[in-house]
Structure 1
Amino acid sequence: MYSLIVPVYMNEGSIGELVQALEGMQAELDQPLEVVFVVDGSPDASYTELKRRLPQAAFASQLISHSRNFGSFAAIRTGFIAARGSYFAVMAADLQEPPELAAQFFRQLARDEHDVLIGTRDSRQDPWSSRLASRLFWGAYRRLINRSIPSGGVDVFACNREFRDQLIALGESNSSLIGLLFWLGFRRGTVRYERQLRRHGKSAWTLRRKLKYMTDSVFSFSDLPIRILLLLGLFGTGMAVLIGLAVLLARLTLGPVVPGYAATMTTVLLFGGLNALGLGIIGAYVWRAFANTQNRPLAVVMKSEEFSGATR
């Protein structure tokens, strides 16, 4: 059996087309398809639309609802835990990733040549502003965190049961799904595709969410902030030594001098700022370590229903 996980958030307008597309994909597959929809606290009527359409759909499905919005990573993890297949794929509900891509994932995984497949974008039919923002975001991600990430980023992936089991065993909060995919290793392959234009709704992938995802990734998979702080500390120490030598030389050659107020204040503010920066960076790491010791669930399931699929 193939299991497809679909996180749902603000996708009311695309539900009808999504169900039709998945019915077409079921007809092409050589094994039964199970689709796990995880409504991640969506404030629109996405859950109602799915509950109305799924009993008549030509594929088996599960409809799970989170008690609030926990984020796409938590929704994907919930879907992985509930899914019963041998091979698993993730697909967005906005249809920007073509459904045939998931079918291609399943066929390649069934050949047992890879444990995890990453969808890499050749191009994207998005406005230029969205393309520019994506290019900047994933460029920074590759440079700061992991150079193995495809230049177009990662939006969809698929894996076998062994990889799935290891992924859901990593119960880290405030982490990065993409970072975990590449950290786990296994036999990894790529599948190229063209990202489609979004026809319904507006993306929830806002600048604020991008910044949070970037900081979570940096603090979970990189020691870059610590190294930057160390370099700033070394630079500040070096400047302090040079200024001290300059003051000593002036004292020996020119006699007593009155310290400059501007220079004093600049030095105090510089090192005060460095101290605040250091405390902030250390605090970010300590907070994430503390959050992982609380053992809170990464998501809370409020409702869960199953549909066997209509016979046609």
Structure 2
Amino acid sequence: MKYSVVIPVYKNEASIPRLIDALVSMNRDLNGHMEAVLVVDGSPDRSFELLREAIATVDFPVQLLAHSRNFGSFPAIRTGLAAARGEFYGVMAADLQEPPELLVQFFTALSADECDVVIGTRIARNDPLMSRIASSMFWQLYRKLVVHEMPEGGVDVFGCNRVFRDQLLKLEESRSSLIALIFWLGFRRKLCGYERQLRQEGVSAWTFRKKVDYMLDSVFAFTDYPIRLLIRLGAFGSLVSILLGILILIARISGAITVPGYAATMLVVLVLGGLNLLGLGLVGTYAWRAYENSKQRPLAVVSMWLKNTGDADV
């Protein structure tokens, strides 16, 4: 087996017949060198039973795994990557909104050694208007706060070689973002544009609440932007409070403020308010650095290692 296709499955029983047909066609395009790794992520429907029946009828290797409960699509992808036995790996969704032909492009680029990881980027999508607006806002914030190299259309599918897969699986972090880790690792990267297809069966399990949780996980695991924002606000607030404090003090001395205790109260509130924000930012900086060390990410990742033993005759 040369190619491994990893597919997380959750509430996809209606699309399973089309999924199996797509995998059969993909295996034919890849000259029969493909295996499929299906990970049922605690799906409450009949996805596992239907897949168990379907894989008995195909003529290519299939691994069917089931999580004990719903852990999320990214843990399911990690499970599939760990179980896969091929040389190159591609991840696709079970709802087939990403065209299966895209993975053939991934494997072609990886086999030609054009890159270590290839990423599918949406250049268009046939989703409802509100879904497109929400997705656009989500990925714009993602690019702004988390991964500046993130394509405008976002990322849902990717492929990689074995070196990249092994490094990715070493990063065992909970409440993190697999997509952000892909960009954090670096390596040689290639982007492949595609048009996202309209969902034909069922309703997406990628709810608004899950998108918000995903954004928070991505922000808190990959950037200290909120802490730096606190420091900036604290420093700016302290400066403004000092200037306003001087004005209030001058007004009190000149007799413009006659209310007893007003000047002292305002001075205390303004100065301490700015210092509180600044102090929270400074304490948060130390907490962030301790958190960074607790994740135990490597300080550097080697993508290629060439050696010359010096024994060759010249």
* Preserved contact between residue 117 and residue 157 of structure 1 (Cα < 8 Å): yes
1:149-171 per-position Cα deviation (integer Å, ceiling 9, x unaligned): 11100010000000000000111
**Equivalent residue, structure 1, for 2:145:** 144
1:218-270 superposed Cα distances (whole Å, 9 cap, x missing partner): 12221211110001111221232123212321232218642349968975996
**Equivalent residues in 2 for 1:1-312, closer than 5 Å:** 1-254=2-255, 257-260=259-262, 274=277
Count matched residues.
Answer: 293
| Higher normalized contact order (CA 8 Å, seq sep 6+, divided by chain length) | 1
1:271 CA displacement? 6.3
* C-alpha distance in structure 2 between counterparts of 1:283 and 1:210, whole Å: 28
Taking the aligned partners of 2:156 and 2:228, their CA distance within structure 1 comes to 30
CA distance in 2, matches of 1:214, 1:69: 19
Structure 1 stretches (4+) deviating beyond 6 angstroms?
279-284, 286-291
- The SS at the match of 2:187 is coil
The residue that corresponds to 2:311 in the other structure is none
State the alpha-carbon separation in 1 of the partners of residues 287 and 92 from structure 2.
32
Retained in 2: the 8 A contact 1:173–1:292? no
Is contact 1:125–1:197 with CA below 8 Å preserved after alignment? yes
2:268 and 2:19 mapped to 1: Cα distance?
62
Inter-partner Cα distance in structure 2 for 1:290 and 1:163? 22
Give the 3-state SS of the residue equivalent to 2:202 in structure 1: coil
**How far apart are the structure 2 equivalents of 1:280 and 1:8?**
42
Identical columns (%): 52
Amino acid of the structure 1 residue aligned with 2:231 = L
Which SS does the other structure have where 1:156 is aligned? strand
- Does the C-alpha gap of structure 1 residues 240 and 269 become closer, same or farther in structure 2, counting only changes over 3 Å? closer
Deviation string, structure 1 residues 67-97 (Cα, Å, up to 9, x no partner): 1111111111111100010000000000101
Counterparts of 1:54 and 1:38, CA distance in 2: 13
CA–CA separation in structure 1 for the residues paired with 2:24 and 2:276: 58
Which sections of structure 2, spanning at least 5 residues, go unmatched? 297-314
| TM-score, with structure 1 as normaliser | 0.85
The Cα of 1:273 is off from its aligned counterpart by 8.9
CA drift at 1:148: 1.1
Q: Which amino acid aligns with 2:229?
A: I
Give the Cα–Cα distance (whole angstroms) in 2 for the partners of residues 54 and 195 of structure 1: 26
Higher mean alpha-carbon deviation, 263-272 vs 46-55, is at 263-272
Aligned partners of 1:88, 1:258: CA distance in 2, in Å?
A: 74
SS in 1 for 2:159: strand
Could you say if the C-alpha distance between residues 49 and 275 of structure 1 is closer, same or farther in structure 2, counting changes exceeding 3 Å? farther
Q: Which residue identity lines up with residue 117 of structure 1 in the other structure?
A: V
SS of corresponding position for 1:155: strand
1:49 is displaced (CA, Å) by 1.0
Distance 1:208 1:193, change over 3 A: same
Distance 1:125 1:114 in 2: 29
Judge which range, 48-57 or 80-89, deviates more. Answer: 48-57
1:6 and 1:18 map into 2 onto residues whose CA distance is 10
Letter in 1 for 2:54: R
Equivalent-residue separation in structure 1 for 2:247 and 2:73 (angstroms): 56
Counterpart secondary structure, 1:51: helix
Instruction: Find the aligned partners of 1:280 and 1:39 in 2 and give their Cα distance.
Output: 42
Counterpart secondary structure, 2:39: strand
